[in-house]
Structures are given as structure tokens and as C-alpha cells.
Amino acid sequence: MSPLLEVENLSVGFAGQLAVDSVSFELSAGECLALVGESGSGKSVTARSLLGLSGGKVSAEKFSVLGQDATAMSERAWQQMRGNSVAMILQDALMALDPLRPVGREIADALKEHSSLSKPERTAKVREALEAVDLPEPAWRMKQRSSQLSGGMRQRVLIAQAMIGDPQVVIADEATTALDSRLTALVLEQLRALKNAGRAVLMISHDLAQVAQLADRIAVMRAGKIVEAGDTDQVLNRPQHEYTRTLLRAIPSGVPRFQPLSLAPPKAAVVAQEPAKPARMPALVVEDLSKSFGKHAAVQGAGFVVQQGQTLGLVGESGSGKTTTARLVLGLERPDTGSVRLFGEHFAPQREAQRRYLRENIGAIYQNPLGSFDPRYNVGQLLTDALSAGRSKRGASYRTQVSRLLEQVELDPALGSRNPRELSGGQRQRLAIARALAPRPKVLVLDEPVSALDVSIQATVLDLLDRLQQETGTSYLFISHDLSVIEHMSDTVAVMYRGSIVEQGATADVFGDPQHEYTRSLLTAMPRLR
Amino acid sequence: MLAWLGRKVGGALVVLWLVATAIFIGVRLIPGDPAEAIMGGPGSQASAEALAAARSEYGLDLPLITQYLMFLAKLIRLDFGTSYALKDPVLQVIAEVLPPTITLALISLAAAWLLSLIFAMLAMRATRAGQCVGNAVEIIAAAVPHFWLGAVLIMLFSSMLGWFPAVDNGTGAGLVLPVLTLALPLAGFLTQLMRDSLSTALGSQFALAARTRGESRLTVFWRHGLRHAALPALGLTGWAFSSLLSGAVVVEAIFARPGLGRSLLSAVLSRDIPMVTGIALFSALVYIVVMALTEAIERLIDPAGAES
């Protein structure tokens, strides 16, 4: 049987710059190929060019899609192919569905393009497709808009949208990125069902661990080129290219605490130290914390302890109350019940005036640092603002401190005059860390600090956080939906489910011998390589 | 839905009361003696006795607070009084001049929407240089004052080319120039707004997703782009309508059209207090109704967004 996709020396250029450079691969029915690489490696452009949607100048020695010569295909022919024989699942289910239209109509649009079905027939088919992806109450849900659905439902709708035309090739572009482990498992399970049903699946991802479960073959992309390609087993276990090894090393699951995930930290590699002995007084004590919004109980009776110089990992899926807990701990939200103590002193609930002197002891880092920077400040001004506790943003007296902070987070002090928008995702997160470190806090609350980053960048940021903890003895409350990150970073772990902490203990115990049903289901869904 | 309607009506009543109060205070700040206006303006040289008689007849000699309460009590009974200048009931005068103005404003609004849609669509396909030119044209259109634009249009299309009459001759051709005068500046505003949201929508993930389903560029524009472009422009429509009403004052004067605007202008000039009050209150009412209508349409397009 001839392959459904045949690509030989495909190049895609934008204004003279090659985003994809001489890429070759093929894909047959019932097979799954994964294109892996970090953002900007050209993998998404490659995927889009398979639908004739790259927007750049495409050239190839051989480029055939379902036996048709794609280099000579008209726009009309492309349109007949898209959503019909080749479909795509895009990354962010919230962004990939029009917020102003009912999801059922979004799904039906493909039928409108490719069939002459009447409206009731289309509605019936959409319902079938939604039932096939196990969406509860499809007849009602299909009339809702994407913002009214939960994350899991949206993901299912997005898959149904791609499947409605019964395509032979399905392209999943970062379809599992930034999803919590149960949603990831859901998407992977759906893709596996497609593969078993004889469809060809092309997975695009930055995360080797996630594609490993499904892919038959893996092609690693970097700077527009495929640097290594082969069977999954071979690429994962006997990687030939240095870059593949870097990507594999960056996967945090199963890597012991403080062991670097990235190579070549600019200074000498950190000597793995014995974890600091727990001091007598814990850094942060949270007791019986509860918070409701209207009738919805966001957090119920959460309690945990963060020891000095240690990390508590708080893990749970989206909507489990992790972020509300972080806001309660930071004193940004007033708890209904319970208390937060910082080094034995009462921090929440407390009048702001009475706890202000404690504020410099606790800092926060968020998932999207850019949103937490004032867009009118440059890097130096942001740090000066933080160093002076908001009294100045230009003070020359802070200049050496600004440089020292930037060096501390391994950023070039010359970046001081740049706007954060010009920085890369990893650099922005380093800047956020530098800003949080400015008042020399003893506790840092990190809310999904690496969730928006590629695995390889995530590795360098995690290594930085490790190094800083060893150098400064800062205690971390590390919040993430990503079990492998939590496993690597935490001394102790608390598992949150529907607002309650269902299990907590030493990392090795929770991951090695989970007691609660929910923890077990999370761990089964977790992609593991080691 | 009923609760929403109830809230709207309650809010509208409060706004109308505030407007009425503001007008009551405002018209009394206009220099000059209202009694003189009743007697036919400052040129009438009415005797002191006649002025005093007029004052007591219209209650102008009572304390201000009593006048205010009487004014409110009349409003509740929908009694807007009698025009000083025309000696007709204010409601009757408004009923006569309202239809031509509303027609003019509605046609101008529709024309502005149509123009900005066409502009926004053209801008999508234009080159970089073309977009710059388009942007400049929009800003200029949005910035030109009505009186200048009206005069230029009359000179160009009526005096020089003779395509359209400057004064309405009853064929409908007389509407073209006044409508253009009102619609062009508004279209400039709306296009700026639409172009922005249109390019955001068409560059978004859901537009790409629509393309992967096999929709053509044009289908994506109609199905997705237009909705997103219309939403912010719709939010502006309440404001746009009120700007059309105030623009009507100028345009009706330039094109010698009967209407609310022209009546307001002459009422202000002749210090015709009941007339000014009535027209201002009516304009506020029209504004409130238009706002509620646009909000209802917005809820139809984006039910989820309206709830939050």
C-alpha cells in the first residue's frame, strides 16, 4: 500500500528565510509519526503545509497528499481535501473554536463544505460525532458556545470537529500541550483509537515523553531541519544526535532532585548537596483553608506545611483549586476559614497594614510572566521597581543590584534596557524569577511557572530554580498540573482534587505508593519514559 | 429576560429624571428673560405689565423649587407644555418633526455600516501601502466636521456636477447629500474599529481551524470575521446614533430640512424653554431605546459574553 503522505525535501520559505529546510518523511494508514522540536523549529509550518495553509513559499522534490501532487494543487482542490480527507486538531481548544458560535455549528461547517446533507441530517451527524468522543449530553452541549464548556468537553468537541469528515489523515498540532495529565490521556486515547481504526496520525509536539506512548516513528526537528528520524524505540533509547539527547535529558520525570536537566549551566555544574535539614520552624503553615465563590466551594479545608529550604509540590488538574489556594496563601484573597502562618507569624486572615512588613518574605511567579509586567517598563525599570519596593523605577543606586539579579538568573545584564516583549519565553520567566527574588523573599509561590514553556526551555528554568534554592535556601510552594515536573522538583507533594487535598506526603511515597484513588488515576495517565 | 427588561426600564426612568433635572437647571442658566421670549423675543418691546402677566401665567414668578416640582409633575402626566414661539403643544410639534430626523439618522447609520464594511473588506485585501492610505482616509473622514463636509458636498455634487439636489425636492434624491454628510465621519470611526477586530479574528486560531475544515477565505470572513467585527462596532452604535442626532442639528440647517435638529436650533435661539426641554428629553429617550436595542442584539450575537 502506498503511503498517504509522501514528502521529499520539502522547504517552506517566508520572505527569503527558510522556516522548513529540506524535510522528508512519509506516513501510511494506521501509522503514527511524531514531529518533535521546540517552538520555532518549523514543525507547525510543516504541518500546515500539508494542508496548503503554510502561507509561505513551498517547494519540494516530491510532495504528495493522498496520491495527489500537492505542489500543483489548486486552492479549490486543497479546500476539498481539508476537513474531508486531511483534518487538523489545533493546540488550544478554547482558541480553536469561535467563541461567538455554538460548537455544534462549528463542527457542522465541515459537512456544509463537503456534503449536500440537509440541516437536520447535519445536526444528526454532529450529534453522532459528539457521542463518539463521549461528550455528555451532546444534544444540549452542541448548542452552547466554547466558553460555556469545560476544558475536557472543549477538547472532545475539537476532536469531533476534526473527525466529522471521516478523514484518512489526522494532524494533531500540539494537541496535548498545556493540558493536565487526564486531558492529555483523553486526547492520546482518542488519537490511539484513530490509529487503530486505520487512520494515519501525524503528531506535532515539543514533548518527547508525550509522543512516546503513541508514535511508531519519531522525527526530531531543529531550525527547520530533521536532525534525527527513526523508530520510536531507537530514537528514545539509542539517540544518535546530540539535540535528541538534550530533549530526552530535559524530561523531568524520574530525575532525582537537584540533578540538572539541561547541560552546560554557564557556571560550574551544581554539586548535588544533601537536602537541607528541616529547620525547627516551618516556613509556611497552612491550616484548614477554605474559600467559596457563591455556591461554588473552590478550596475546602486545605492544610499543608512547607519546610524551610524545601519544596512542596501542589498538584491537581485545572479547576481543582490550586490557583485559589495560591491566592489565599499570598493574602490576595480572604479565606472563609483557616489560617496561613509565615515563619510562625500570622499572615492570613490579617489586616493588610499589620502584615505588610511580612510581605517582602513571600513572592510569587506566574505562568504567563508577560501579563505580570507593566508593558511601559523595560527590564531594568521592572527590577528597580521591585528592588525599591515601588519607590523608584530609575534610581541609579540600584544599578549594580539590577545587574546582580540578572546574573543570578543567568540573563545578560545588557538586557536591562530591553522591553520584556522582546524577550523569549524562557528569558521572560527568568526575569519574573529575578523580580520575585529582588526583596530576598524566604518563600516563593510558583503557580505553573514552566507550563507555557517548551520542555527544553523548561529544563533550564527548573535547573535555575534548583540552583537558587540551594544558594539562597528559599522555600518553594510549587504549583503545577504536570506530574513529572512536580516529581522532579518536590520534597513533599500534596494532591488536590475538587478543592480538597486528598493525599500528601514525601514525594517518593506519593509517587511510589499512592493511597488515594484519584492520585492513582493521575499517575496512570502520566506519560513516563524512565 | 424579564428581569433584564425590568432593569432597563427602571434605569431608563432614572436617566430621564436626571436629564429632566439637568435641562431644568440648564435652560434657566441661559441669559435673558423667558417672559420676553413668550412675548415674541427681545425685539417685541412688550410692556412691563404684559411681561408680569406672562410671568404669572407661566408660573415664572414662583420659587425655583416649586417650579421644579410643577415641572416634574407635568412630565409624569406627559404634559410637555406649549411652545412659546409656535403656541402649539410641544408633543404635537415633536410628533411632526421627529419622523424626518429619525429617517435621516437611521438611513445614515445604515449607510455608515455599509460603507465601513466595504472599507474593512477592501482593507483586508489591500497592500501595505494601500492600508496606509486607507487608514489616512478613515482618520480624515472621522475628523471632518459636519458643517464643512456638508458645504463641500453641496458645492461638488450639487453646484458643480449637478448630480443631487441640495434641497429635498420630494424624490428621495435630496436625501443623498445629507446622509453622506452624516455617514462619512461615522464610517471613518466604525471602519477603524472593524478593521482592528476583523484582522484579530481572521488571524486567530479559530479562523485557522475553519480553514482546516475546508472553508474558503471568503466563507471564513462571512462566518467568523464579520461577527467579531460587528461586536465592538455595535457597542459603539448607541453613541453613534446620538452623534447622528446632534449632527442632524447642523445638517438640517445646511440642507434646509425640517426636523428635530432644526426645531431644537430655533427653539434655543428663541429661548423657547418648553420646546428645548421636550426635544432634549425626547433625544435622551431615543438614545436609551437605541442603547437597549444594541445591547439586545449584542446578547443575541454573544450570549456568553453578555452574561459575564
Cα A104 to Cα A106: distance, rounded to the nearest angstrom: 5
Mean pLDDT of A3-25: 91
Interchain CB distance below 8 Å, B212 and A83:
yes
Got the DSSP string for B84-144? TTT-SBHHHHHHHHHHHHHHHHHHHHHHHHHHHHHHHHHHHHS-HHHHHHHHHHHHHHHHS
Would you state the torsion angle of the CA atoms of residues B12, B17, B19, B22, taken in this order, to the nearest 10 degrees?
-160
**Strand A225-231 relative to strand A284-293, pairing:** unpaired
Task: State the CB neighbour count (10 A cutoff) for residue A392.
Answer: 14
Mean pLDDT (whole number) for B173-199: 86
Distance from the B209 Cα atom to the nearest Cα atom in chain A, whole angstroms: 6
CB contact under 8 A, B212 and A95: no
Distance of residue B196 Cα from the nearest chain A Cα, in angstroms: 17
Give the pLDDT confidence score for residue A270 in this predicted structure.
47
Is A111 in a helix, a strand, or coil?
A: helix
Cβ A304 vs Cβ A483: under 8 Å: no
B305 and A99 within 8 Å at the Cβ level: the answer is yes
Q: What span, in angstroms and rounded, lies between the C-alpha atoms of A40 and A56?
A: 15
Tens of pLDDT along B84-122? 777 788 888 888 888 888 888 889 999 998 998 888 888
Q: Minimal Cα distance from A80: which residue of B?
A: B214
Q: Cis link prior to A349 (omega < 30° from 0)? A: yes
Phi, psi of A328, deg, nearest 5: -70, -45
State the cell numbers at A333: 484573597
Residue A211 near residue A38 (C-beta atoms within 8 A): no
Q: By the CB < 8 Å criterion, does B304 face chain A?
A: yes
SS3 A346: strand
Strand partners, A34: A203, A218
**Is residue B308 very low, low, confident or very high in pLDDT (cuts 50, 70, 90)?**
very low
Quick one: closest CA in B to A110, which residue?
A: B213
Contact call for B214 and A81, based on CB within 8 A = yes
Q: Is 60 exceeded by the pLDDT of residue B233?
A: yes
Amino acid at A256: P
- Per-residue b/e over B247-277, b at no fewer than 16 CB within 10 Å? bbbbbbbbbebebbbbbbbebbebbbbbbbb
Verdict on whether the full-model pTM lies above 0.90: no
Contacts of A92 (CB under 8 A, 6+ apart): A178, B205
Residue among A166, A162, A163, A169 at smallest CA distance from A6? A169
The 10s digit of each residue's pLDDT in A62-115 is 999 998 898 888 989 999 999 889 999 988 777 889 888 899 999 999 888 888
pLDDT digits (tens, 9 = 90+) for A143-201: 888 888 877 788 889 888 988 988 999 999 888 877 777 778 888 888 998 899 999 99
How high is the pLDDT of residue A36?
Answer: 93
Buried b (16+ CB within 10 A) or exposed e, A48-58: bbbbbebebeb
pLDDT band at B163 (very low <50, low <70, confident <90, very high): confident
pLDDT in tens, A205-249: 988 888 888 999 999 999 899 999 999 999 999 999 999 998 888
DSSP assignment, residue B173? Answer: G
- For chain A, which residues lie within 8 Å of any Cβ of chain B, measuring from their own Cβ? 51, 53, 75, 79-84, 87-88, 90-92, 95-101, 106, 109-110, 113-114, 145, 147-148, 161-162, 165
The residue ranking higher by pLDDT, B30 or A204, is A204
Task: Measure in Å the smallest separation between the Cα of A74 and chain B Cα atoms.
Answer: 12
Residue in B closest to A165 by C-alpha: B213
Rg (CA), chain B: 24
What are the cell numbers at A285? 503553615
Work out the end-to-end distance of chain A between its first and last CA atoms, rounded to an integer number of angstroms.
35
Cα distance from B187 to chain A (closest Cα, Å)?
24
Smallest Cα distance from B230 to chain A, Å: 11
* Residue numbers in B near A113 (CB within 8 A): 213-215, 219
Residues of B in contact with A106 (CB under 8 A): 206, 209-210
A339, A346 contact by CB (below 8 A)? yes
Contacts of A97 in chain B (CB under 8 A): 206, 209
Are the Cβ atoms of A97 and B209 closer than 8 angstroms? Answer: yes
Query: At residue B64, does pLDDT exceed 50?
Result: yes
pLDDT of residue A279: 57
Q: Which residues from A are below 8 Å from B227, CB to CB?
A: 98, 100-101
Q: Pick A96's closest partner by Cβ from B209, B215, B304.
A: B209
pLDDT for the residue numbered A264: 56
Chain B residues whose beta carbon lies within 8 Å of the beta carbon of residue A82: 211-214
| A-chain residues near B219 (CB < 8 A) | 113
Across the interface, whether the CB atoms of A53 and B211 are under 8 A apart is answered: yes
Residue of B nearest to A77 (CA): B214
Structure confidence at residue A269 as a pLDDT band (50, 70, 90): very low
Q: Which residues of A touch B213 (CB under 8 A)?
A: 82-83, 87, 109-110, 113, 161, 165
Q: Band of the pLDDT at A490, cuts 50, 70, 90? A: very high
**Which one of A81, A82, A89, A98 makes the best mutation probe of the B interface by having the most chain B beta carbons within 10 Å?**
A98
Chain B hits for A79, Cβ within 8 Å: 214-216
Best of A100, A147, A166, A170 to mutate (most B CBs within 10 Å, chain B):
A100
Burial A482-491 (b: 16+ CB within 10 A, else e): bbbbbbbbbb
Residue labelled with grid coordinates 486560531: B205
Checking DSSP bridges between strand A62-65 and strand A32-36, what pairing results, if any? unpaired
Q: Are strands A296-306 and A345-348 parallel, antiparallel or unpaired?
A: unpaired
Give the burial class of B124: count Cβ atoms within 10 A of its Cβ; 0-12 exposed, 13-18 middle, 19 or more buried. Answer: middle
**Cell output for B252:** 438640517
Which of B214, B231, B303 has its CB closest to that of A80?
B214
How many residue pairs bridge chain A and chain B with CB atoms within 8 Å of each other?
82
Nearest-by-CA chain A residue for B202: A98
Placement of cell 557556571 in the chain = A267
Nearest chain B residue to A148, by CA: B304
User: The cell 520555532 sits on which residue?
Assistant: A40
Are residues A90 and B205, on separate chains, in Cβ contact within 8 Å? yes
| Chain B: closest CA distance from residue A81 (Å) | 7
pLDDT value for A268: 44
Within 10 angstroms of residue A290's Cβ, the number of other Cβ atoms is 18
Residue A25 to residues A87, A248, A269, A518: CA-CA distances in angstroms?
Answer: 18, 22, 38, 40
Mutate to test the interface with A, among B128, B204, B212 (most CBs of A within 10 A): B212
Instruction: Give the least confident one: A302-306, A435-439, A506-510, B1-5.
Output: B1-5
Is residue A271 predicted with pLDDT exceeding 60?
A: no
- pLDDT reported for residue A116: 87
For residue B86, give the nearest of B303, B294, B266, B281 by alpha carbon.
Answer: B266
Any A CB within 8 A of B7 CB = no
Residue of higher predicted confidence among A29 and B79: A29
Mean pLDDT of A12-19: 88
Residue B33 Cα, gap to closest chain A Cα (Å)? 55
Question: CB distance from B63 to chain A under 8 Å?
Answer: no
